[in-house]
A and B are shown apart, each in its own frame.
Chain A
Amino acid sequence: QVQLQESGPGLVKPSQTLSLTCTVSGDSISSGSYYWSWIRQPAGGGLQWIGHIQTSESVNYNPFLKSRVTISSDTSKNQFSLRLSSVTAADTAVYYCARDSFWSKYCNTTSCYNTEYFQYWGQGTLVSVSS
């Protein structure tokens, strides 16, 4: 059974860098079969995708966060990590990691028809940004 567990500080000061790690069990992040995503949810709000990683060469970020986000992986520990710099109160949220199925089901001359869905989620970790 695939399980994911987020870990990291629950409190970060404004302007500093938020760092979280997701430890995966029941699957190998180095298999290349899946992407591994970070998603966040502010209190009372909806879901916001932050980005995902398949290999160190295959990483995508939400364009609205791209300038502040880095996602990396440590295959030896079967972990992947999130770094979000220059945080503000608006970054206060529950942060989830998830296993992500993403691929192009087919492509024609004009478009690719993609599927993406998040099969397994961690329990989430609350990160508050406050001085």
Chain B
Amino acid sequence: QSVLTQPPSVSAAPGQKVTISCSGSSSNIGTNYVSWYQQLPRTAPKLLIYDNDKRFSGIPDRFSGSKSGSSATLGITGLQTGDEADYYCGTWDSSLSAAVFGGGTKVTVL
């Protein structure tokens, strides 16, 4: 059972937009900064977004992040087949004194 809650899957047609939600609590997302990771099949996760809305080096501006209260959102515009992957949110939990992740969301390009 993950500390952060994500939908198991989202899908859209090529060129469309998807958003992935990540819900937490006051001790994690409500207090600390959120990061997002992309995991392509059979590869290690890759950092996309850090500090809620900053794109990591080399990440296209089709990827965006936002945070409001105890929830965060990853947006992907201009969806491409190469975006099919699992996406994870992460943050620090101040009550646990531990890094925590969401359960992951599988993005399917129809």
Contacts and interface: CB of A to CB of B under 8 A. Distances in A.
Interface centre among B91, B98, B103 (most CB of A within 10 A): B98
B32 A113 contact: yes
Contacts of B92: 102, 114-116
B32 A115 contact: yes
Contact of A49 (B31, B46, B98): B98
B50 A101 contact: yes
Interface of A: 37, 46-49, 52, 60-63, 96, 100-102, 105, 111-124
Contact of B35 (A48, A62, A117, A121): A117
Interface of B: 2, 31-33, 35, 37, 43-47, 50-51, 56, 88, 90-92, 94, 96-104
A105 B97 contact: no
5 contacts: A46-B101, A47-B88, A49-B101, A52-B99, A117-B33
B35 A116 contact: yes
Contacts, number: 80
Contacts of A101: 50
A96 B44 CA distance: 8
A62 B101 CA distance: 12
Given A101-B50, A105-B33, A124-B44, A116 B97 contact: no
A114 B47 CA distance: 17
Contacts of B97: 60, 63
Contact of A111 (B45, B94, B102): B94
A114 B44 contact: no
A47 B98 contact: no
